[in-house]
């Protein structure tokens, strides 16, 4: 977790409309103008380029100093050297107090690189970023925590970086511990924490200090359902007085919390604005192989995925049962399983996230049984996804591989999370 102080010149089912939208004259807290960031594929060349760049920055007579970084006619391609590429290219946007911006895109699209620049961890090669006020960020698991110090000591250090006095930290400490659900482990070394404990503590620190700008990278993908619900409720309250950037591969989180989205593809902005429209375009753009007219399959280290049996709901509060089989080409550890239910007109309307620890090497068969499906009448599709230790480790995404219809007289419902059990045969 990274926290810094920067100055520049009650229901769980939350809909985006429930979050107060900022007015057009709300204070602008974050601005990015024509931001570029490049990296080098070769380590040796990267070190050499780094030395040259530092020398040029220290040389007041160099033509490559920061004075040229904001020129409008700056040619990006002309500044690429051998084996360099742009991770972020010409990204511009602004974020006002009271807004939540969803950042979406494929793995490797440049989302985390952009967040690191916004948080001041790395600097852009071209362009300008302005952040006003206190910034709280949770970008990488365990980032900003000293692993050999206790959770309590890390809380004090991170809060002190933000400029809080010891008395202010003392007043908030119990609130942070209670929210993170750490209990007596607050005095244990952070290196002994599970990934879920680290994220819970990081989120608790970042949000309890009431930042003006809050930057979150996949924080809602970790933890049990109750903690994720608590995080969403906390975010909905913070958004009213803060500017929030949320990265998530979960369209349900984006649609419920964000007023607009920024869609990155290979470092460039390819979509911005309405969450519903951009999420649909993003879903249809996945680099996939088709398995039918409307279904798609993305696999990584898996093959021969297929549905072997199903028991589909037809009435309100029926259950959904699925059996799938596949073969892994190497030993994998599936830690998170996500089942999403999509309304063909509105997008994703329900989701089940299962924290598990499946070690799979070779052939595997998994049976799923959901809780009662509480949706209105209509046509629905099911999407299944397998993730590893991190949400960026995608092993499988089977989109729209099952369809069902409900016809029981129900005419309304709210988006919600449901429970699912799984069994590895």
Residuewise pLDDT in 10s, the chain (425 residues): 443 444 333 333 334 444 444 445 678 899 999 999 999 888 888 889 888 888 888 877 765 544 455 555 567 777 788 888 889 999 999 999 999 999 988 877 889 899 989 988 889 988 999 999 888 777 765 557 888 999 899 888 888 877 778 888 888 888 888 888 888 889 999 888 887 788 888 888 878 778 889 888 877 666 666 777 788 888 888 888 889 999 887 777 788 888 999 999 888 999 999 888 888 788 766 544 434 444 556 677 888 888 898 899 988 888 999 999 999 999 998 988 989 888 866 677 888 888 888 999 999 999 999 988 888 888 888 989 898 876 667 888 888 888 888 887 666 565 667 788 888 87
- Rounded CA separation 295/287 (Å): 13
Task: Concatenate the DSSP letters of all residues of 19-43 into one string.
Answer: SPPPPTTSPEEEEEEEEEEEEES-H
Q: Is 71 within a domain?
A: no
Which residue, of 261, 284, 307, is where some domain finishes? 284
Nearest to 240 by CA among 270, 268, 210: 210
In a domain, 345, yes or no: yes
284, 309, 342 - which closes a domain: 284
CA gap 224, 386 in Å, rounded = 16
So what's the pLDDT on residue 130?
92
Query: Is 332 domain-assigned?
Result: yes
- The verdict on 263 and 309 lying in the same domain is no
pTM of the model: 0.63
- 266 and 300 share one domain: no
- CATH code of 333's domain: 2.70.50.60
Measured at the alpha carbon of residue 168, what is the angle toward residues 166 and 170, in degrees to the nearest 5? 70
Residues 251 and 321 in one domain: no
Residues 334 and 257 in one domain: no
For the record, the structure tokens of 411 come out as 């005419």
Sign of CA dihedral 208, 209, 210, 215: negative
Instruction: Let me know if residue 69 belongs to a domain.
Output: no
Residue-level pLDDT at 35: 92
Using the CB atoms, write b or e for 131-163: b if 16+ within 10 Å: bbbbbbbbbbbbbbbeeeebbbbbbbbbbeebe
| Number of separate domains in the chain | 2
Q: Is residue 15 part of a domain?
A: no
Query: Residue 249: left (phi > 0), alpha (psi -120 to 50), or beta?
Result: alpha
Say whether both 246 and 304 belong to one domain.
no
275: CATH: 3.40.50.300
| Residue whose C-alpha is closest to residue 403's, from 276, 307, 264 | 307
Alpha-carbon gap, residue 65 to 53, rounded angstroms: 9
Neighbouring C-beta atoms of residue 363, cutoff 10 Å? 11
Same-domain check for residues 211 and 314: no
262 and 302 inside one domain? no
Phi and psi, residue 380, nearest 5°: -135, 155
d(CA 200, CA 181): 8
- The domain boundary, picked from 284, 317, 334, lies at 284
110 falls within a domain: yes
In a domain, 3, yes or no: no
Burial-class residue 358 by CB neighbours within 10 Å (0-12, 13-18, 19+). Answer: middle
Do 323 and 278 share a domain, yes or no? no
Per-residue model confidence (pLDDT) at position 388:
84
Q: Where are the beta strands (DSSP E) in 162-301?
A: 213-217, 243-247, 260-265, 268-273, 289-290, 296-299
227 & 327 share domain: no
- Are residues 269 and 181 part of one domain? yes
In a domain, 55, yes or no: no
In the chain, what is the greatest distance between 2 CA atoms, to the nearest angstrom? 76
Q: Are residues 112 and 228 in the same domain?
A: yes
- In whole angstroms, give the CA distance from residue 263 to residue 311: 36
**Using alpha carbons only, what angle is made at residue 350 by residues 347 and 352, rounded to the nearest 5 degrees?**
130
Q: What is the domain range of residue 208?
A: 28-43+83-284
Q: Do 310 and 278 share a structural domain?
A: no
């Amino acid at each position: 977790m990274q926290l810094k102080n920067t100055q520049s010149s009650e229901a769980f089912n939350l809909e985006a409309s429930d979050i107060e939208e900022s007015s057009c004259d709300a204070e602008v807290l974050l601005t990015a103008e024509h931001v570029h960031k490049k990296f080098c594929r070769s380590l040796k060349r990267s070190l050499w380029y780094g030395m040259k760049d530092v020398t040029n920055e220290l040389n007041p007579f160099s033509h490559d100093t920061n004075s040229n970084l904001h020129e409008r006619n700056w040619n990006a391609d002309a500044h690429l050297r051998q084996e360099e590429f742009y991770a972020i290219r010409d990204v511009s946007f602004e974020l006002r107090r009271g807004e939540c911006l969803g950042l979406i895109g494929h793995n490797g699209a440049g989302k985390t690189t952009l967040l690191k620049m916004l948080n001041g961890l790395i600097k852009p090669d071209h362009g300008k970023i302005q952040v006003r006020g206190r910034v709280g960020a949770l970008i990488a698991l365990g980032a900003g925590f000293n692993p050999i110090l206790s959770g309590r000591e890390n809380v004090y250090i991170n809060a002190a970086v933000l400029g809080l006095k010891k008395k202010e930290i003392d007043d908030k400490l119990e609130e942070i511990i209670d929210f993170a659900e750490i209990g007596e482990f607050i005095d244990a070394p952070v290196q002994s924490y599970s990934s879920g404990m680290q994220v819970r503590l990081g989120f608790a620190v970042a949000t309890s200090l009431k930042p003006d700008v809050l930057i979150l990278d996949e924080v809602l993908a970790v933890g049990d359902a109750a903690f994720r619900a608590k995080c969403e409720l906390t975010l909905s309250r913070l958004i009213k007085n803060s500017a929030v950037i949320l990265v998530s591969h979960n369209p349900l989180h984006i649609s419920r919390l964000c007023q607009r989205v920024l869609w990155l593809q290979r470092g460039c902005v390819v979509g911005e604005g309405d969450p519903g429209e951009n999420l649909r375009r993003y879903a249809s753009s996945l680099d996939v192989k088709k398995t039918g007219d409307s279904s798609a399959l993305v696999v990584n280290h898996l093959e021969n995925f297929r549905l072997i049996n199903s028991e589909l709901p037809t009435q309100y509060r029926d259950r959904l049962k699925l059996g799938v089989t596949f073969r892994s080409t190497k030993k994998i550890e599936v830690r998170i399983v996500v089942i999403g239910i999509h309304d063909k007109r509105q997008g994703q309307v329900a989701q089940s996230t299962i924290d598990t620890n499946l070690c799979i090497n070779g052939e595997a068969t998994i049976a799923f049984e959901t809780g009662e499906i509480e949706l209105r009448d209509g046509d629905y599709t099911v999407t299944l996804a397998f993730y590893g230790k991190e949400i960026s480790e995608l092993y499988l995404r089977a989109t729209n591989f099952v369809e069902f219809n409900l016809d029981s007289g129900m005419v309304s419902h709210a988006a919600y999370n449901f429970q699912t059990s799984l069994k590895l045969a």
